[in-house]
Amino acid sequence: MSIPVEYQTQLAKYLDEQKYPGLTKLFHDSGRITTYPRDTTIVGQNVPMTDICIMFSGEVEVSYVDQHGILYTMATLGAGSWRGEPEFLEPGSVGVFSKALTEVVELQISYATLKQSNVPKAELYEFIARNLGSRIKLAHKIYQQRTIFTLEERILSQLNSLADSSGCVQITQEKLASYMGASRYQIIRSLKKLEAKGLVARKSYGVLELLDEEEQR
């Protein structure tokens, strides 16, 4: 039974039917829609993956806990984000976990279904290669931020990515520390430097405002 037309329309935004006709048909015919409530752990750290999935709506936070128990937040992902492709090629667990920040709706297809399907291998593996290329770019960006830019520059970049239309960000120092892979003390010190430069203002507890050039004058 095919997935509802509304989801077929959404899939068309993220999967080119002209390039990937067999894969598109397989998602239409054998895909399943799964909804995760807010605060649900979608993927557990070191838990094997079983599906390739595309997020249709919602926001997911990708993090990991290191061997010392310190939480690191890598990225916040939204609609159009794929997951599960690397593990299809190389079965095993994932070194990160993802948590639903809002209600999340995904279209999923199992590895078993993919392997048993008639989708041409050239089509399937080209699709996976393209998605892996995007993941490598994201990993390289994170690596650059953590090795080249100063902590203040990284904080500004992260705040810009999280800011709403008014330039405000609701975030605790602890959460910002997890994004930066830094201690809370380092975050407090860096925020004070950014405030002194007129780049950030503290609106209230847990709320920061990014200041534009006119506000800095």
What pLDDT band is residue 110 in, cutting at 50, 70 and 90? very high
pLDDT at residue 86, as a whole number = 87
Number of other residues whose CB lies within 10 A of the CB of residue 124: 19
pLDDT digits (tens, 9 = 90+) for 46-103: 899 999 999 999 999 998 888 877 788 888 899 999 999 988 988 877 788 999 999 9
Token pair 């794929």: residue: 82
24-28, 152-156, 194-198 — which one is most confidently predicted on average?
24-28
Token pair 């909804």: residue: 35
Please say if the pLDDT value at position 217 is more than 60: no
Q: Which two tokens stand for residue 169?
A: 């960000």
Say how far apart CA 126 and CA 107 lie, in whole Å: 20
Please say if the pLDDT value at position 215 is more than 70: no
Please state the φ and ψ torsions of residue 189, each to the nearest 5 degrees: -65, -40
Pairing of strands 200-204, 32-36: unpaired
Token pair 């002209």: residue: 18
